[in-house]
Amino acid sequence: MTEGYPVKAYGVPVKRYVQVMDLKDEPELIERYKLAHSRERFWPEIMAGIREVGILEMDIHLSGNHLVMIVETALDFDWDTAMARLATLPRQAEWEDHVAQFQQCRPGQTSDEKWHMAHRIFQLYESL
């Protein structure tokens, strides 16, 4: 897709987190992972939990077997508190076990343990 993706406007400042993870480099597993994240198959309890902990927007992008997740939250969002709470919500551990079959991770890892925070090294901005 070369035309880009629309970005939701919140009317208030938000902050962004970017995380990365690799899938197992097997085309059939990658296709099954994509299917698990489709609107028709994504578990509604997981969507509700993501919203419940305060995440406003979440995108996952795929290139080969590399995943990039972009998360937008309110400015007062505390990542560690939210991830600890997310891990306790209904079906979250079951979901993590389900998607682990596609991911390069250790059994039983939480979402926060699987995904690795990316650090911004460049930002295009204008002088004020």
CA atoms within 13 Å, Cβ hemisphere of 44: 1
Higher confidence at residue 47 or residue 9? Answer: 47
Instruction: Provide mean pLDDT across the span 85-107.
Output: 96
Q: Model pTM?
A: 0.90
pLDDT surpassing 70 at residue 124 = yes
Judging by beta carbons within 10 Å of its beta carbon (0-12, 13-18, 19+), is residue 111 exposed, middle or buried?
Answer: buried
pLDDT at 32: 98
